[in-house]
């Protein structure tokens, strides 16, 4: 019986097959049983804030982490079509097929921009080692924002930003300018500028641009499963 949702459960291709045969951690040989190593790898990938999926050359989803499953569940640009990665628009479907063919068949890396301008998605397709995973493609979904929410909270807390300053920082991270923030908050523009100056002073950044570049370099903290309720 064909189960189109099988990819949403543990991967049919054990992940340890994609790893070096004898991994060494801090100089000690890893001796975890294959099943335990496989489960550890899957749980670790579920903590990654970036959507990651393992595909075959036809776009069938062999494994997807929690973030990818969330993106494909009724996605506006890409979605799960009976266990296959599919695009809503015909032009995007053609671009996806061509990208998969290039990655799986020719060993080429592809970056695709799919969807209309207002809800577009970036997808990176990377070929995997042909001996370890023949005709398999690693699909990485574009980031949802400049900085993941928990990393932003930790950053604000580490510099002791006030709740108002943290709120302004979040809106700057989302792309709002001081005028827009002032309108949303119902405060004077001078108040927002004072808060931004306070944020820059506490964080030691020279400008808003410098601040945003710093946020863009932060590693994701926790991952999707830590702050968003998604089905396993």
Grade residue 23 by pLDDT with cuts at 50, 70 and 90. very low
Report the CATH number that the domain containing residue 81 is assigned in CATH.
3.30.450.20
Are 114 and 67 members of one domain? yes
Classify residue 223: in a domain, yes or no: no
The whole-number pLDDT of residue 45 equals 82
Does 223 score more than 80 pLDDT?
no
Check if the beta carbon of residue 95 is closer than 8 Å to that of residue 114.
yes
Of 49, 24, 13, 26, which Cα lies nearest the Cα of 132? 13
Q: What is the mean pLDDT of residues 189-209?
A: 96
Number of domains into which the chain is organized: 2
> Helix (H) and strand (E) counts for the chain?
9, 9
Q: Based on the domain organization, do 159 and 122 belong to the same domain?
A: no
Q: 102 and 191: one domain? A: no
The predicted model scores a pTM of 0.67
> What DSSP string describes 153-181?
HHHHHHTT--HHHHHHHHHHHTT--HHHH
Report yes or no on 26 lying in a domain.
yes
Do residue 129 and residue 186 come from a single domain?
Answer: no
Express each pLDDT in 64-95 by its tens digit. Answer: 998 899 889 888 999 999 999 999 999 999 99
Rounded Cα gap, residues 36 and 78, in angstroms: 32
Partners of residue 64 on adjacent β-strands:
53
DSSP string, 87-129: ESSHHHHHHHHHHHHHHHHH---EEEEES-GGG-EEEEEEEPP
In the predicted structure, residue 228 carries a pLDDT above the cut 60: no
Q: Are residues 155 and 134 in the same domain?
A: no
Does residue 212 lie in a domain region? Answer: yes
Q: Among 95, 115, 141, where does a domain finish?
A: 141
Instruction: Print the domain residue range for 202.
Output: 149-216
């Amino acid at each position: 019986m064909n189960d189109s949702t099988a990819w949403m459960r543990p991967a049919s291709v054990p992940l340890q097959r994609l790893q070096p045969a004898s991994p060494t951690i801090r100089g000690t040989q890893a001796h975890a049983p294959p099943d335990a190593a496989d489960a550890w790898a899957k749980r670790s990938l579920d903590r990654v804030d970036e959507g990651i999926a393992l595909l075959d050359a036809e776009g069938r989803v062999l494994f997807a982490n929690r973030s990818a499953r969330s993106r494909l569940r009724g996605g506006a640009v890409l979605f799960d079509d009976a266990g296959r990665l599919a695009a809503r628009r015909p032009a995007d479907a053609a671009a996806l097929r061509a990208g998969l063919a290039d990655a799986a068949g020719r060993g080429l890396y592809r970056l695709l921009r799919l969807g209309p301008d207002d809800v577009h998605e970036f997808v990176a397709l990377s070929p995997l080692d042909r001996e370890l995973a023949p005709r398999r493609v690693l699909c990485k979904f574009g980031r949802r924002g400049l900085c993941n929410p928990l990393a932003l909270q930790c950053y604000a807390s580490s510099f002791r930003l006030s709740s108002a300053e943290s709120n302004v920082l979040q809106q700057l991270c989302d792309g709002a300018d001081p005028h827009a923030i002032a309108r949303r908050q119902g405060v004077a523009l001078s108040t927002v500028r004072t808060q931004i100056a306070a944020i820059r002073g506490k964080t030691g950044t020279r400008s808003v641009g410098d601040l945003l570049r710093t946020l863009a370099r932060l590693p994701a903290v926790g991952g999707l499963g830590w702050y968003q309720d998604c089905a396993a």
